[in-house]
Amino acid sequence: MTTPESFERIRAELAEDLRRLRTDVGMSGVTAATRLGWSQSKISKIETGRATPSSDDVRQLVGLYRPGRDERLALETRVAELNDRYRSLRMLRKRGLEHEQRGIKRVESSTTLLRVFEPSTVPGLLQTAEYARAVFSRPLSCAGVDVARAVAARLDRQSALFQPERSFHFVITEAALRWRMGGTATMTAQMDRLANLSTLSNVRLGLLPWRVEVPEFPNNGFDIRDEREVAVENFTTHRVLTDARDIDFHLRMFAYFADAAIYGDEARAFLAELTREHA
């Protein structure tokens, strides 16, 4: 089953609007590209929805096509939102992942209930400093990251866990707990931190052992912020989905995993067992 992708829909609508503006003024793609000093392929990719234009790209295009003020403002607002919702992790690394961590903290500060599902790593809010250091030191997916600043920013986010008015529900797979991020000491400390945090009254920590049957395959991790948006990340991109259908899909998916997970003393006993195996 595929989720409805609101991002792709909005990008397609923007692409069509930009193509229409060009044809309305009787301009060919080649002419538009020449006047802007772009390649014709760039115009083509933007107008067919194969590339996401930047805010500056759209400002240049509307400056060339000269639509009415309301339409120009609507296009500029839409592309700004589009780029905010779909971000290249390569560009984020250039800006500094500590900056991105601060941005996530601002979003999380306005979230009453945060649901997090992670199939491959311990969630950032639950990581120890050494585990986070190992995460940010990966040679390919985190190349170029200022590790010390990224770790400090991630740990700063964790103060939210100790605010009783906030609620957190984490579901983590056994696979995430078995991947060795760092050495034995790092994994032992990480298991201990998970056990300790699971005793907080506003934190619900569920673990999903391999022995448990689940109705869906855990394809990727995701964060659900209240019921207003879902954050999804892969190796190269970060998306925030706000379409109600996307949110509903992920809420139902989270419920499947959460219902199959183990909690409380059973989860802590499982962590102790994993700690002995890591030793």
Mean pLDDT of the residues in the chain: 86
The band of 200, judged by pLDDT with boundaries at 50, 70 and 90, is very high
Average pLDDT of span 215-227? 90
pLDDT of residue 90: 53
pTM comes to: 0.69
* Per-residue pLDDT at 3 exceeds 50: no
pLDDT of residue 108: 78
pLDDT of residue 166: 94
CB count in 10 Å sphere of residue 195: 17
Number of C-alpha atoms within 13 angstroms, CB side, residue 174?
Answer: 16
Q: Per CATH, which fold does 96-278 belong to? A: Endonuclease; Chain A (3.30.870)
What's the CA gap between 185 and 275, in Å, rounded? 10
* Per-residue pLDDT at 27 exceeds 90: yes
* Per-residue pLDDT at 119 exceeds 80: yes
Average pLDDT of span 20-25? 94
For residue 186 the two structure tokens come to: 């790092």
* Per-residue pLDDT at 1 exceeds 60: no
* Per-residue pLDDT at 4 exceeds 50: no
The band of 172, judged by pLDDT with boundaries at 50, 70 and 90, is very high
Greater confidence (142 vs 170) lies with 170
The band of 234, judged by pLDDT with boundaries at 50, 70 and 90, is confident
**With helix as H, strand as E and coil as C, how does the chain read?**
CCCCCHHHHHHHHHHHHHHHHHHHCCCCHHHHHHHHCCCHHHHHHHHCCCCCCCHHHHHHHHHHHCCCHHHHHHHHHHHHHHHHHEEEHHHHHHHCHHHHHHHHHHHHHCCCEEEEEECCCCCHHHCCHHHHHHHHCCCCCCCCCCHHHHHHHHHHHHHHHHCCCCEEEEEEEHHHHHCCCCCHHHHHHHHHHHHHHCCCCCEEEEEECCCCCCCCCCCCCEEEECCCEEEEECCCEEEEECCHHHHHHHHHHHHHHHHHCECHHHHHHHHHHHHHHHC
Candidate from 95-104, 157-166, 176-185 with smallest mean pLDDT? 95-104
pLDDT of residue 136: 86
What's the CA gap between 84 and 133, in Å, rounded? 27
pLDDT in tens, 75-111: 988 887 776 565 554 555 555 565 666 767 777 778 8
> For the structural domain made of 6-86, what CATH number should be given?
1.10.260.40
Do 112 and 161 meet the contact criterion of CB atoms below 8 Å apart?
no
* Per-residue pLDDT at 141 exceeds 80: no
Do 130 and 183 meet the contact criterion of CB atoms below 8 Å apart?
no
pLDDT of residue 146: 82
Give start-end residues of each CATH 3.30.870 domain in the chain: 96-278
Do 169 and 117 meet the contact criterion of CB atoms below 8 Å apart?
no
Give start-end residues of each CATH 1.10.260.40 domain in the chain: 6-86
* Per-residue pLDDT at 173 exceeds 90: yes
Share of the chain above pLDDT 70, in %: 86
pLDDT of residue 18: 95
pLDDT of residue 115: 98
The amino acid sitting at 92 is L
Average pLDDT of span 187-208? 97
The amino acid sitting at 96 is G
pLDDT in tens, 65-76: 999 999 998 898
Average pLDDT of span 42-66? 89
